Homo-oligomer: A and B are copies of this chain.
């Protein structure tokens, strides 16, 4: 009945998102029940990890039958905040920033881009899928007026920290950093890194390492 202690470890959190997409796929196929062992196989995990992860949810399985896919999908949906609308701002109207605005999948998860900013005068005023690129100096006012709680940074590495500071000062409570540079934020601000270049560098190293 009452929620678990509520501090979901980060690695678990990432897997919860995977469980949700997997449940949605199973439900489309009409599968009602799934075993921890089956989930583990589908997602390259151990069944132990799956069961441990699910203890963080306000949810239980049934011995010998496994987990109700619909119920699990619902609980995960809520746990990952998809039951509420989140307003986001994208900073950086380059190729990546524009791609995000055009990305239709976000809305399915309650995520809406309601602001697009760029520091380059020349791109200000351009339209991207119904949104107009606005200058970064308008950011603080827009963040407040449109109730934006998440900032997505799609800027060059050299300006990443400065943009992060601006967003935090404007009042966002979470940052997704897509820039190829680490940023520092106060610890009450949630930060997730998903930069592509560092990920590719990691990948290339792993490939070399297995060579030898």
Contacts and interface: CB of A to CB of B under 8 A. Distances in A.
Given A103-B95, A190-B210, A18 B198 contact: yes
Secondary structure of the A contact surface, majority rule: helix
Protomer copies? 2
B157 A209 contact: no
A1 interface: no
Contacts of A198: 14, 17-18
A23 B43 CA distance: 37
A178 B103 CA distance: 13
Given A81-B205, A210-B188, A200 B109 contact: yes
A10 B201 CA distance: 11
A208 B82 CA distance: 11
Nearest to A86: B204
Given A157-B21, A182-B43, A207-B174, A202 B192 contact: yes
Given A13-B205, A174-B206, A192-B203, 11 more contacts: A10-B202, A18-B198, A22-B181, A22-B182, A95-B103, A100-B196, A103-B196, A110-B204, A190-B210, A192-B200, A194-B194
18 contacts: A25-B157, A25-B158, A43-B184, A44-B182, A44-B184, A86-B204, A95-B103, A96-B96, A100-B196, A106-B197, A106-B200, A109-B197, A174-B203, A175-B203, A176-B196, A188-B210, A192-B203, A194-B199
